[in-house]
């Protein structure tokens, strides 16, 4: 059985994954694009020793922040892992939906070019994708995504087909007010736990790598370290971007995957766990 635990940042995915890993004697596999990076711990909300209930964890801390780890790399690593552990229950946990889709479904990459398309307008890029019948998930104002799609020969327009049996996609959700409050509180807690010190250390060690300038929390604090923002402005921006990212995660999962959503009971999280178990054992 492959259990996928998805949803926006800060909703409770880690706790659910750890509890289910004991219930089903399952390995836990990361499905978060930033948690693959070593040393990026506080800002990516990586599981802690206190949260770890003792099952094996995979695809966490596998590359340096100086390296560029792509969805194609993740696809290969996840499929190799699932092949190696084919007789085990597996729990995939994380909010990076594209990684999940690429790893578990017929989302194939053949080759990837690196053409910049500088000489083309957004309208021309859009027309090229339209000619290829490859407009799913594309907006004419999102230039970066259009260029990425044109550089990929992946099968975006094909209907998704699962490559594995017995996949269950569990989504955790809550009302927007509660979620945004939790995100804001979580950012404050990260700062108290030493996020600024973590970012400063990584910035001195690696410079402005793609990983550090992509991850929410790291980019903004690097801007503070470079005196482009005040600390208060940086923290406010982290909260704002985290809230917007959570909104995008909901939108993506609702449009791209068949998710079974569960409203989280934060007063009694065990009740939420039991609801998920009841669903899995139907």
CB 43 within 8 A of CB 125: no
Q: CATH 1.10.287.890 occupies which residues in the chain?
A: 178-244
Q: How far is CA 62 from CA 29, 45, 102, 199, in A?
A: 12, 16, 18, 19
**Which class for 64: exposed (0-12), middle (13-18), buried (19 or more C-beta within 10 A)?**
middle
Shortest CA distance to 100 belongs to which of 166, 21, 163? 163
Continuous H helices in 63-136: 71-84, 97-104, 122-131
Shortest CA distance to 33 belongs to which of 91, 86, 93? 93
- Tens digits of residue pLDDT in 53-112: 999 999 999 999 999 999 999 999 999 999 999 999 999 999 999 999 999 998 876 555
Domain 178-244 has CATH 3.30.420.40: no
Residues of the chain with pLDDT under 70: 109-114, 153-159
Shortest CA distance to 91 belongs to which of 162, 15, 163, 160? 15
H/E element, 269: helix 269-280
Q: CA-CA distance, 170 to 13, in Å (whole number)?
A: 10
- Tens digits of residue pLDDT in 217-234: 999 999 999 999 999 999
């Amino acid at each position: 059985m492959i259990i996928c635990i998805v949803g926006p940042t800060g909703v409770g995915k880690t706790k659910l994954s750890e509890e289910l890993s004991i219930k089903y004697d399952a390995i836990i596999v990361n499905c978060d694009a930033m948690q693959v990076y070593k040393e990026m711990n506080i800002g990516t909300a990586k599981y802690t020793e206190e949260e770890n209930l003792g099952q094996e964890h995979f695809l966490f801390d596998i590359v340096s922040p100086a390296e560029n780890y792509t969805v194609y790399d993740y696809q290969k690593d996840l499929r190799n892992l699932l092949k190696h552990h084919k007789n085990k229950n597996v729990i995939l946990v994380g909010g990076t939906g594209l990684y999940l889709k690429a790893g578990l479904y017929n989302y194939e990459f053949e080759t990837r070019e690196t053409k910049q398309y500088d000489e083309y307008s957004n309208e021309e890029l859009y027309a090229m994708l339209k000619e290829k019948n490859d407009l799913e998930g594309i907006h004419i104002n999102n230039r970066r995504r259009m260029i990425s799609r044109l550089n990929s020969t992946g099968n975006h327009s094909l209907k998704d087909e699962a490559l594995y049996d017995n996949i269950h996609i569990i989504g955790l959700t809550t009302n927007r007010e509660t979620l945004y409050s939790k995100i804001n509180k979580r950012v404050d807690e990260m700062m108290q736990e030493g996020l600024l010190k973590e970012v400063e250390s990584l910035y001195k060690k690696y410079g402005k790598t793609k990983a550090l300038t992509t991850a929410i929390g790291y980019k903004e604090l690097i801007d503070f370290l470079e005196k482009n923002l005040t600390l208060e402005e940086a923290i406010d921006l982290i909260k704002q971007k985290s809230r917007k990212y959570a909104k995008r995660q909901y939108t993506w999962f609702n449009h791209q995957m068949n998710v079974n959503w569960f409203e989280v009971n934060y007063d009694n999280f065990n009740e939420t766990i039991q609801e998920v178990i009841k669903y899995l054992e139907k």
